[in-house]
Amino acid sequence: MPVVNADIASELDKVADLLEIEGANPFRVRAYRQAARLVGSLPRSVAEMVAAGDDLDALPGIGQDLAGKIALIATGKHLPLLDELEREVPPGITALLALPGLGPKRVHALHEALGIDSIDKLAAAAKSGQLHTVAGFGPGIEARLVRALAEGAGQAQRVKLATAEQVAEPLLRHLRGADGVLQVEIAGSYRRRRETVGDLDIVASAEPGKPVMDRFAGYEDVAEVTERGTTRSTIVLRNGLQVDLRVVAPESFGAALLYFTGSKAHNIALRQIAMARNLKLNEYGLFSGAKRLAGATEQDLYERLGLTMVPPELREDQGEIDASRQKRLPHLVTLDDIRGDLHMHTTASDGHDSILAMARAAQALGRAYIAITDHSKHVAVTHGLDAARLARQIDEIDRLNAGLKDFTVLKAIEVDILEDGSLDLPDRILRRLDLVVGAVHSAFDLPRGQQTARLLKAMDNPLLNILAHPTGRLINARPGYAVDIEAVMRGARERGCHLELNAQPDRLDLNDTSCRLAKELGLKVAISTDAHATTQLGHMRFGIDQARRGWLEPGDVLNAASLADLRRMLRRDVPAV
DNA sequence: GCCGTTTTCGGCCCGACTGTTTTCAGTCG
């Protein structure tokens, strides 16, 4: 069982947590945190890089020492440093860091004074009123901890982007209606379009002395106001989502938006560029001494730092700063580039609308073509199609196309990839289709090698064109099946197959880092809605968000092509490479 | 622990808010 990047990242984070509680050099702690973040976001398997003899210390922020430690973890060995730290600091203690108001110093103090090394012991101490006997713990902090424990804090889960949008947009409108408000934008990971968000960061500019904070705190959906200042306030909405609002003067709006959009790593890199020029960058602007050089817009700030404006989706310190400096930023795909949609269902299987309804709705969204991809028979609960029913659907689509103007419905299927890698319908019927989308809906728990071989075997069938939701993950609900995604991508490229970025907000599969890997490997990605109703055709935008985070340009996206070009690229007898 | 057209040593992003304080440490983003 190979060690996956997320496991390595979590080991490194654990080291950072424990070092922090021990009071280690904060920059050493940061080095571990940055390494964890880097490893967690690498598209390639670190275990495989180690096996291939790649130099890990060529990675930014990884020196000889960390390279050695990462290689150790990647090969399944124990990290002596971690063992040592766990002897000194009880491992359960790190869970305390997740509580609001508890950082390394206070956790350390609690452990020293009362021997608290777990949430349970903290709860007991709070209940018996011992907490305020610890130096630095007054009634305020005690009350806050008691409340957090009662609410089961420490388990806050990030919410899906689409879910966050549902509460964010009305709040944004509420703030825009406030007296004296000039500009309001949502920043943070929401603006970077991460697949999930931990909280919302809102930046506003306003005329001085206007009651914007009152408007914010008085929002009807507020459960609690946890911080209330003149320039910064924090509320918790009734659904548990925390929202921060920062209000600045108009001349600082761009700087504040830049700062609160992050990511943190991107900001730090920008500040270092500013420092190298003897300038100071903060949320109020870019300064030379006391003189403000820029601040009203992000564009000005980037330009004064010798950079071109970086789209928020790329601000992860993953090479975008160098690309910006060299004017080599990608021209990211936009919703307007999308010409078609290659995965959707109808009433024939588990969809809610007819083929014609889906076609009309897609055309109204500006698409020129769609593919109808109902399930095949193996997914019985969806009333999947057998060969005979698919044959009738083919005829129905032919008749329908004859009556459509400037729009084409492609005959297709989402055929099940069975456990042995064979397809759920015979070639003789698949051959009559315009394209074949294949997907796994069963046997999720195969060993990694076997799952990978299953997908490669499915793609061996020259009738298969697109591998749908390639990892099978459901955000916040189910990890993907174990699979060597890079091997699948290489296999797809050799065979002239393509991979899907499923745009359902709970799938987003391929994810952003896999998209970037696909691009590096020269593989085209189909961004598809997998719509089960006309209303879901709009989910395309969530797919676009992740594609942009994955640096994809229109030329990397299969369904940004015209129908004629698409048909050419779907031909398996002429490999794309 | 990392890193280097100012450095192989001495730096490492910066500010707001809270609570517990009499001028600031800790936490957070």
Whether A575 maps to a domain, the answer reads no
Q: Please give the nucleotide, over all strands, whose C1' is closest to the CA of residue A267.
A: B13
More confident residue, A517 or A156: A517
Same domain flag for A107 and A242: no
Round to a whole number and report the distance in Å from the CA of A229 to the C1' of B15.
13
Round to a whole number and report the distance in Å from the CA of A64 to the C1' of B4.
16
Give the CA diameter of chain A: 81
Residue type, A469: H
Whether A128 maps to a domain, the answer reads yes
* pLDDT tens digits for range A506-516: 899 999 999 99
Round to a whole number and report the distance in Å from the CA of A9 to the C1' of B3.
22
Q: Please give the nucleotide, over all strands, whose C1' is closest to the CA of residue A103.
A: B27
Round to a whole number and report the distance in Å from the CA of A484 to the C1' of B1.
31
| Domain endpoint, select from A116, A150, A184 | A150
Most confident of the ranges A240-244, A419-423, A478-482: A419-423
Q: Look at residue A87 and tell me whether its pLDDT is greater than 90.
A: no
Same domain flag for A315 and A339: no
Nearest protein residue to B16's C1' (by CA)?
A: A232
Q: Please give the nucleotide, over all strands, whose C1' is closest to the CA of residue A81.
A: B1
Nearest protein residue to B12's C1' (by CA)?
A: A27
Q: Look at residue A576 and tell me whether its pLDDT is greater than 60.
A: no
Same domain flag for A124 and A170: no
The pLDDT, as a whole number, for residue A302 is 95
Q: Which pLDDT band, with edges at 50, 70 and 90, does A148 fall under?
A: confident
Round to a whole number and report the distance in Å from the CA of A428 to the C1' of B8.
69
The answer to whether residues A396 and A355 touch, using CB atoms and an 8 Å cutoff, is yes
Nearest protein residue to B1's C1' (by CA)?
A: A28
Give the DSSP letter string of A18-83. Answer: HHHHHT--HHHHHHHHHHHHHHHH-SS-HHHHHHTT--GGGSTT--HHHHHHHHHHHTT---HHHH
Round to a whole number and report the distance in Å from the CA of A28 to the C1' of B11.
13
Q: Look at residue A399 and tell me whether its pLDDT is greater than 80.
A: yes
- Which H or E element spans position A174? helix A161-176
Round to a whole number and report the distance in Å from the CA of A67 to the C1' of B10.
23
Give the DSSP letter string of A284-319. Answer: TEEEETTEEEE-S-HHHHHHHTT-PPPPGGGTTTSS
Nearest protein residue to B6's C1' (by CA)?
A: A276
CA gap A343, A351 in Å, rounded: 12
Region A133-139: what's the mean pLDDT?
82
Total domains in the fold of chain A: 3
Phi, psi values for residue A275, rounded to 5°: -60, -40
Same domain flag for A128 and A166: no
More confident residue, A115 or A541: A541
More confident residue, A229 or A369: A369
Nearest protein residue to B21's C1' (by CA)?
A: A136
Same domain flag for A320 and A343: no
Q: Look at residue A165 and tell me whether its pLDDT is greater than 70.
A: yes
The answer to whether residues A490 and A530 touch, using CB atoms and an 8 Å cutoff, is no
Q: Look at residue A189 and tell me whether its pLDDT is greater than 50.
A: yes
Q: What is the domain-level CATH number for residue A314?
A: 3.30.460.10
Q: Look at residue A362 and tell me whether its pLDDT is greater than 90.
A: yes
Whether A330 maps to a domain, the answer reads no
Whether A268 maps to a domain, the answer reads yes
* pLDDT tens digits for range A440-499: 998 888 888 999 999 999 999 999 999 999 999 988 877 888 899 999 999 999 999 999
Give whole-number Cα distances, A103 to A43, A75, A94, in Å: 31, 32, 10
Region A264-285: what's the mean pLDDT?
90
Kindly report the number of other CB atoms within 10 A of residue A40's CB atom: 18
Phi, psi values for residue A96, rounded to 5°: -65, -25
Same domain flag for A32 and A127: yes
Question: A22-36, A150-164, A290-304, A382-396 — which is least confidently predicted?
Answer: A150-164
Whether A155 maps to a domain, the answer reads no
| Domain endpoint, select from A325, A351, A366 | A325
| Domain endpoint, select from A100, A116, A150 | A150
The pLDDT, as a whole number, for residue A153 is 57
Range A30-33 contact pairs with CB under 8 angstroms and sequence separation of 24 or more:
A31/A61, A31/A66, A32/A66
The pLDDT, as a whole number, for residue A577 is 43
Whether A448 maps to a domain, the answer reads yes
* pLDDT tens digits for range A94-114: 888 888 788 888 888 888 888
Round to a whole number and report the distance in Å from the CA of A401 to the C1' of B10.
72
Same domain flag for A208 and A259: yes
Q: Look at residue A230 and tell me whether its pLDDT is greater than 70.
A: yes
Q: Please give the nucleotide, over all strands, whose C1' is closest to the CA of residue A242.
A: B29
Whether A101 maps to a domain, the answer reads yes
Question: A115-124, A461-470, A523-532 — which is least confidently predicted?
Answer: A115-124
Chain centroid to Cα A13, Å, comes to 19
Same domain flag for A391 and A530: yes
Q: Look at residue A166 and tell me whether its pLDDT is greater than 50.
A: yes
Q: What is the domain-level CATH number for residue A454?
A: 3.20.20.140
Q: Look at residue A150 and tell me whether its pLDDT is greater than 90.
A: no
Percent of chain A with pLDDT over 70: 98
Q: Please give the nucleotide, over all strands, whose C1' is closest to the CA of residue A244.
A: B29
Round to a whole number and report the distance in Å from the CA of A107 to the C1' of B22.
25
* pLDDT tens digits for range A322-351: 999 999 999 999 999 999 999 999 999 989
Nearest protein residue to B25's C1' (by CA)?
A: A136
The pLDDT, as a whole number, for residue A328 is 92
Same domain flag for A52 and A72: yes
Round to a whole number and report the distance in Å from the CA of A293 to the C1' of B5.
25
Q: Which pLDDT band, with edges at 50, 70 and 90, does A122 fall under?
A: confident
Q: Which domain holds residue A166?
A: 160-325
Q: Please give the nucleotide, over all strands, whose C1' is closest to the CA of residue A31.
A: B1
The pLDDT, as a whole number, for residue A156 is 57
Give whole-number Cα distances, A292 to A68, A249, A273, A310, A374, in Å: 44, 13, 16, 21, 59
**Average predicted confidence (pLDDT) for chain A:** 90
Q: Is A448 exposed, middle or buried (0-12, 13-18, 19+ CB in 10 A)?
A: middle
The pLDDT, as a whole number, for residue A152 is 65
Place of tokens 């073509």: A369
Q: Which pLDDT band, with edges at 50, 70 and 90, does A134 fall under?
A: confident
Same domain flag for A282 and A374: no
Region A218-233: what's the mean pLDDT?
88
Q: Which pLDDT band, with edges at 50, 70 and 90, does A155 fall under?
A: low
Whether A503 maps to a domain, the answer reads yes
Q: What is the domain-level CATH number for residue A48?
A: 1.10.150.110
Same domain flag for A535 and A566: yes
Same domain flag for A313 and A343: no
Region A2-10: what's the mean pLDDT?
83
